[in-house]
Structure 1
Amino acid sequence: MRPGKATGPDDVAVDLWKSKLWCPAEWLAKFFNQVVAEKKVPECWRQSTTTPIWKKKGSPADCSNYRPIRLLSHSMKIFERIVDGRIRDIVQLSSNQWLAKFFNQVVAEKKKHREKQKPVHIAFLDLEKAFDRVPSDVIWYALRRHGVPEELIEWARILYSFPKSRVQAAAGTSMEFPISVGVHQGSALSPLLFVVAMDAITRDLQKPKKKKKKKKKKKKKKKKKKKKMSGGNVFI
């Protein structure tokens, strides 16, 4: 993390964790182990301050023309980087996702399927404000889908336990409000969680449908009855 960054709700500067005057790594290790053991984060990790930054295009009166910058605790960001590194060692993302600008790949895929006389299905996803709209349940499903152990998923889950924020602008600061959907803006872990969620959705879309087996109607065979007759057995 670069020094001089704005502080989060705990008002602790990033320079403290980079200082050589003491041993922050040892203290953080004990602190993070306590967070994992108790499955509970400090209150300042749940809090954040959101500052809207104008994109310098469109009307300043339109809220959609602002980019939200969320100030988080730097100690939480360090913990997120640890979780991020461990998840990256496990997940394997598929290579069959394309951005819309790679139109040639889409055309080539369509041509290949047409030559083989096979149907092709292409999903175009609008990712505008996507970070704000990913449900938490989808994130946990995606992590399990990629084989991430429950222990690591629990580490990510505690970071999303009852998050809340307040908006700070030139006019003043708003009341605190809960955040129930989306990944954390400005989080070190959010880009990976988002990509993993999108990868799981893409795989589900590309999963071939199981063909329903047609049940063959079994012809009822007439049971052979055995009758006793004089002179031998006759089967009808």
Structure 2
Amino acid sequence: MTRALDALDCAAHLQTSVHLMRDFIPGAGCGVPAAALADRALAAWVRDHGVTVTAHDDDELDLVRYHGLRPVQVVMRCGAATGAIGRAAGFGVSRFIVGTPQQMARLAESTPHTKYLYLDEHSPLVLGDRRLRVVGLHADVDDSGGAVEWAGAAERLLCRAVVLKTCGSPIRRISLSGGSSDIWMAGRTPHLASVVAAVDGALRDGCQRWRLDRPSVTLSPLTTARRNAASPRSAASVAAGTTPA
């Protein structure tokens, strides 16, 4: 009972955080790490409200599917394990954060459908496959420096957007991930307000300086602070009536 109430509190705090973000940045998006879905009540709220979920690997894809999230809600962060990239594409995921030519090549060969890419700060800016469409830029934020790090990351992405604009590929979306989920889901409103205000200021000033159309923005935790949660495969095993090895 306590765990369920705690998860409901997390959902309530997340809803408050979304409203706070949109008070500063109208239309701002909010994402959560897939690992946070280990709490069923929170997972249900995220699923029912269409919140974006970021998955990293096979275990997190298992968790996403176990809780019935739609592929359209999922963003896959591509890593070294290319098998997970193909599995995500097979599940119907169409949005991917990519950083290497190898990841892009795996995506291009996985399914014939168009994939929508967020390029991270290390990725090449030129793509060779028409099925891979760049829709945004992504950066991870070192949250140890507070709001100033978030503003700096937003500015770096705008600099990359200027380069892509000159190449005929205007960027309309950016995403920033940093810190722990307790910023969004444990009522740390003052800290979140300072982060969002800093990002808003960086976007306003940068777009004016470089004459860019203001991109839409999604902010999300990079890690989850949840503790004592069942692993994705353990949750799936319980549902199936089996015990994992």
Please confirm whether the aligned pair reaches a TM-score higher than 0.5, indicating the same fold: no
| TM-score between the two structures when normalised by the length of structure 1 | 0.23
| TM-score between the two structures when normalised by the length of structure 2 | 0.22
Report the structure, 1 or 2, having the larger helix content. 2
